[in-house]
């Protein structure tokens, strides 16, 4: 179960990052955390896959911070955490709208 939670947090990071893409994917790829490949079935799609380095990160480095994160979020219910994620996603969408407006 611990490994599933770790990948869940990583998935949330990737999902949020996709909304405000700058050079984060490139940075993760250059650091060896992900591979990016063109889909052979759909030229519009890219496969972003975690590497073994992600597993090592969660097995080593992330465990150091996991306890602090648990303390940080233990005051929230599961519903509150889900709401927080939804609100953060909407905040990122709002930031994108603001950036588009500023660019025009």
| Res 104: pLDDT | 82
Encode pLDDT of 21-80 as tens digits. 556 778 888 999 988 888 888 887 778 888 999 888 878 777 778 888 888 888 988 899
Residue 82 lies in a domain: no
Domain tally, the chain:
1
* pTM of the model as a whole: 0.44
Handedness of CA 62, 64, 67, 72 (dihedral sign): negative
Q: What is the DSSP letter of 32?
A: T
Residue 52 lies in a domain: yes
Residue 80 within any structural domain of the chain: no
Domain containing 69 equals 2-74
Residue 84 lies in a domain: no
Question: Residue 103 falls within a domain, yes or no?
Answer: no
Contact 30, 24 (CB under 8 A): no
């Amino acid at each position: 179960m611990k490994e599933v939670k770790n990948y869940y947090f990583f998935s949330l990071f990737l999902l949020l990052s996709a909304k405000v893409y700058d050079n984060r994917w490139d940075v993760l790829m250059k650091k060896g955390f992900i591979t990016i490949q063109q889909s052979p079935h759909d030229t519009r799609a890219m496969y972003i896959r975690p590497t073994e380095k992600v597993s090592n990160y969660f097995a080593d480095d992330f465990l150091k911070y996991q306890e602090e994160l648990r303390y940080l979020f233990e005051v929230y219910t599961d519903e509150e955490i889900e709401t927080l994620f939804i609100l953060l996603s909407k905040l990122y969408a709002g930031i994108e709208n603001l950036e588009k407006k500023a660019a025009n």
